[in-house]
Amino acid sequence: MATSAVYLRRRLALLLALAILIGGVTVGARRAVNSFHNRARWSNITVVKGQLGSGEVLYDSLLADGISREAANEAVLAIARVLDLTRLRTSDRYRIYLDKERRIVKFVYERAPADLYFAVRDAGGKLRSFKPAIYLKKELLAKEFTITSSLFAAILKAQEEEELVFDIVDIFAWDIDFYTYPRVGDKIKLYYEKQFYKGKFARYGRVLAAEYDGRDKFRAVYFAPGRDRRGYYDLEGRPTEKMFLKTPLKFTGRITSYFGRRRDPFTHRHGHHTGVDFASYYGAPIVATADGLVTFAGWRGAYGRLLIVRHNNGYATYYGHCSRLLARPGQKVGQGQTIALVGSSGRSTGPHCHYEIRIRAAATNPLAFNRPKRLPLKGKELAAFKSYAANVWKNIEKM
């Protein structure tokens, strides 16, 4: 009886070992087959590398790289689910992996080494988009910059990247026209976050505190009193943000014609100019100066391609002579959102944006306009802000 039990256990052990061996061989065979298929599949892959051109939208850039209209449209729609296409830059790069039928297998969009966006074709044949999580090391820095020729030159001279210029502009855009205001000798102090990936600079984080010291002194501290309320405040708790930005072109526009009486360059007659003309390069982005609703987007006589945005309390803004309109009637737009591109359509002598502000249909001077301010912090929020700001501001005062 005992001998029979031992014999049975040996047979079971032998069968188990055989099953494991067969299973291992099967898994190994499958892996070998899969590896072969993958190698065969990727051996037929063509890689196209590209870079966004100046004033170019992603769709047109893909077409210029030889991607079909159908494939380019599919790629743009897929990547737009995870990437804001209104904030693309000419330094952005991408890689497209095409199969032998010229279908996109994988699309990788790179804004920075650690700022990647993917669209990959799944087993069902659809392009699935995602942004991978990447761990970044963070450092806090305090630095002073002095303008000797331009804001860009001051930042680059201090061994920083151009992206920091845009952060500064975004903070003070409500008070400073960065094309006309800066002077040699103006100083900017920043307390900001810098992020690194594998020991190399990846991107800038939040600017926590900033000071612009020129003809006037502007100060700002980032504070988030609530989930839906966050932004920059001066040291008294007043928002630096106002209802309207100073200009629709940030710092790329030179004023060529002011509000008021002028001689029309076409008719040579004297008349009333209802806005301000900001000259810039063809295709420069035009941004909405305030949150609002697009009420008109199309051709209107001397304005050429015109976009009108309606705002609260009877305000409206006009953006004329555009080369391209990027918003449509009925669409809500946010302050700072790119809504059109600079052009010279209509009655125009060169690329520029004709910008108007109207209050209950009456045109007003955008440069002298008393822009409504947002509500200041009060009570417990103000007390919390002042305590926080005093601690953060020490890093600015040390410089």
Residue 177 DSSP one-character state: -
The string of pLDDT tens digits covering residues 47-82 is: 989 888 777 788 888 988 888 999 989 989 999 899
Mark out the alpha helices in the chain (DSSP H runs). Answer: 2-43, 58-64, 69-79, 151-157, 163-172, 379-397
Q: Is the pLDDT of residue 329 over 80?
A: yes
Phi and psi at 336, nearest 5°, equal 90, -5
* Collapsed DSSP state (helix, strand, coil) of residue 303: helix
pLDDT band at 32 (very low <50, low <70, confident <90, very high): very low
**Full-model pTM:** 0.58
Q: Is the pLDDT of residue 251 over 70?
A: no
Distance CA 386, CA 391 (A): 9
pLDDT band at 4 (very low <50, low <70, confident <90, very high): low
Mean pLDDT score of the chain, rounded to an integer? 84
Q: 46-130, which class in CATH?
A: alpha beta
Predicted confidence at residue 398, as pLDDT, reads 85
pLDDT band at 191 (very low <50, low <70, confident <90, very high): very high
Predicted confidence at residue 361, as pLDDT, reads 86
Distance CA 378, CA 387 (A): 13
Residue 12 DSSP one-character state: H
Range with the lowest mean pLDDT among 31-45, 101-115, 263-277? 31-45
Distance CA 309, CA 293 (A): 5
Predicted confidence at residue 134, as pLDDT, reads 81
* Collapsed DSSP state (helix, strand, coil) of residue 273: strand
Q: Is the pLDDT of residue 8 over 70?
A: no
Same fold, 46-130 and 137-233: yes
What is the CATH T-level fold of the domain 137-233, as seen in this structure? Nuclear Transport Factor 2; Chain: A, (3.10.450)
Which tokens sit at 110? 């790179």
What does the domain layout of the chain look like in residue ranges? 46-130, 137-233, 254-364
Distance CA 119, CA 47 (A): 14
Q: What torsion, rounded to 10 degrees, do the Cα atoms 5, 8, 13, 17 define?
A: 170
* Collapsed DSSP state (helix, strand, coil) of residue 291: coil
> pLDDT higher for 36 or 382?
382
Distance CA 32, CA 24 (A): 12
Q: Is the pLDDT of residue 228 over 80?
A: no
Phi and psi at 199, nearest 5°, equal 85, -5
Distance of CA 123 to the CA centre of its chain: 32
Phi and psi at 154, nearest 5°, equal -65, -40
Q: Is the pLDDT of residue 35 over 60?
A: no
Q: Find the angle CA(195)-CA(248)-CA(80) to the nearest 5 degrees.
A: 55
Which of 1.10.10.10, 2.170.16.10, 1.20.210.10, 2.70.70.10 would CATH assign to domain 254-364? 2.70.70.10
* Collapsed DSSP state (helix, strand, coil) of residue 86: helix
